[in-house]
A = this chain, B = another copy of it.
């Protein structure tokens, strides 16, 4: 594996210089205690534990993988000890509710910690992030008693979480799940059914595993409006908090996968398992979506984290590998070849990784900031933040992971033949990041969510709000010295998104196939505009300080590269969208 170094300086740039997080936090009662000093201290500690403790287990965990024996799942050597150390340091509850032992840190900060964790080790990260996500859903929807019983132990990592949605016949289409819940006399429920693809469903890292399970009551309506959410612990929890009897939930087997080998992906069998209702009856998808939106941003961050690690590896290799001469003549006259970073095409690959990774980091923090406004802001901020979160979450999940795969493939390519060999770790990043485009709703499903629910359903209202922000930014910045190249690129990009949104909304009103025909291209179109905005935002402080430090010069050149070399992709996307659904739908199924 490339030796990962946490990009703390880049993270501080995004937090403090681009988004002025200190001022944001000071403005809201729930975050007033978070200072820039505290944030920096957290980033430094996060860097230490992810780099020193967790990253070194990534390659060995990939080789060893998890193993299953009669219902028990064993994680690779070193995971149990590392998870215990990690959990003790309170990282799992970093963003958790302080009333139950969480640290209450804003999402804008925790996304940066999550990036480090993903960069260090995808598989390890999953055990933590599913726990945080499950805790979030419990905090938002469960009754007080359940919160008190479960949240402190989950924030401390003594117990971990899992989300049990998918069944063999039902992945995308949760409305047709078959897992049943029957009410017991004591108010609990008996849950029976089989779930597949359950990440962290069984393992040896924690004393208890808290499953959030979707199931149907006997008299529930058909479809998605008949689904309820239940908390099902692996071991029952006694009134004094101690663990009681084993519940009726067993891991039937684990999957053998392309990557994330150290993460257990389980078939979970529920047989009259005791469960507790979370939220209202038949409103389970609502509760699960609280968790899923959290996980979706987290999965987007997985794409970013892998991309960063791959970039670090490729950059180092490109500086050290001597092969051929620079096109303009030898740089290293005393050696037999020049470093390959002298080659324009190697620079193209590295700059593509760098441009997408750094824009992705800013975008993750930006979406995190919207989540914070939605949670901690005043009424107007809450409303606006929630709209932005709804709009941007599918983009964060899908665009960051699609670009994550592209980036990891490029980083592997920089290594030539060595990129295909396991010991270098560059191919593992490709295998690991690939799942991020699939789980938590495939990227195609994210695009349908964006296009259908977040754009067409409200006639582009959320998009207009977002574009209004971009327009205000352009008006404010375009006269500033040096900003014109960034604001004019953003203006063009923003106009393209605006016109295309209008076109899609109109065409979808005539033909429902137009939504799915445009959705993936549209999500990418939006992603490019969002990243163009991020580069313009980054250009503001970078222009002001470019003479102080070459770090800012690097930002400006990377932003320029993005606008000139990558952003033109939008023209191809628009042309493809405007070709409409007809080229997709005319062919009879038999002719495929």
A binding-site residues for B, Cβ under 8 Å: 166, 169-173, 176, 196-197, 255-259, 315, 318-319, 322-324, 327-328, 336-337, 339, 341-351, 354, 405, 409, 412-413, 416-417, 419-423, 427, 430-431, 434-435, 437-439, 442-444, 447-448, 512-517, 519-520, 550-551, 553-554, 557-558, 560-561, 564-566, 568-572, 575-576, 579, 581, 583-592
Contact = CB atoms under 8 A, between A and B. Distances in A.
Given A336-B176, A337-B173, A413 B592 contact: no
Contacts of A419: 438
A438 B592 CA distance: 31
A520 B259 CA distance: 29
A584 B328 contact: no
Contact of A448 (B318, B345, B587): B345
Given A344-B517, A345-B520, A422-B258, A328 B512 contact: yes
A412 B337 CA distance: 40
A59 to B, nearest CB: 11
Contacts of A169: 322
Contacts of A197: 417
Contacts of A341: 589, 592
Given A172-B416, A258-B427, A427-B258, A344 B569 contact: no
Task: Give the one of A255, A319, A349 with max B CB within 10 A.
Answer: A255
B438 A420 contact: yes
B344 A516 contact: yes
Contacts of A581: 344
A313 B516 CA distance: 22
8 contacts: A319-B589, A339-B589, A344-B516, A345-B444, A351-B583, A413-B443, A413-B444, A571-B571
A585 B421 contact: no
Contact of A519 (B342, B345, B350, B416): B345
Contact of A405 (B409, B558, B566): B409
A591 B354 CA distance: 11
A348 B430 contact: no
A553 B514 CA distance: 23
A177 to B, nearest CB: 11
Contacts of A592: 315, 318-319, 341, 350-351, 354, 554
A169 B588 CA distance: 54
Task: Give the one of A344, A349, A416, A423 with max B CB within 10 A.
Answer: A344
Nearest to A557: B587
Nearest to A355: B583
Task: Give the one of A169, A170, A347 with max B CB within 10 A.
Answer: A347
B554 A583 contact: no
Contacts of A420: 257-259, 434-435, 438-439
Given A255-B421, A421-B257, A347 B585 contact: yes
Given A328-B512, A416-B438, 7 more contacts: A339-B589, A346-B444, A420-B434, A554-B592, A568-B579, A571-B575, A572-B572
A345 B517 contact: yes
Nearest to A349: B444
Q: Can you tell how many copies of this chain the complex includes?
A: 2
B584 A347 contact: yes
Nearest to A415: B438
B448 A588 contact: no
A478 to B, nearest CB: 21
A575 B568 CA distance: 6
Contacts of A324: 172-173
Contacts of A328: 512-513
A198 to B, nearest CB: 11
Nearest to A405: B409
A328 B343 CA distance: 51
A348 B512 contact: no
B166 A345 contact: no
Contact of A586 (B409, B444, B557): B557
Contacts of A347: 584-585, 587
A9 to B, nearest CB: 13
Contacts of A579: 564-565, 568
A444 B405 CA distance: 18
Contact of A583 (B413, B423, B565): B565
Nearest to A574: B568
B568 A583 contact: no
B520 A348 contact: yes
A420 to B, nearest CB: 5
Given A337-B173, A575-B571, A417 B166 contact: yes
Nearest to A169: B322
A491 to B, nearest CB: 17
A310 to B, nearest CB: 13
Nearest to A517: B344
Given A257-B420, A592-B354, A584 B348 contact: yes
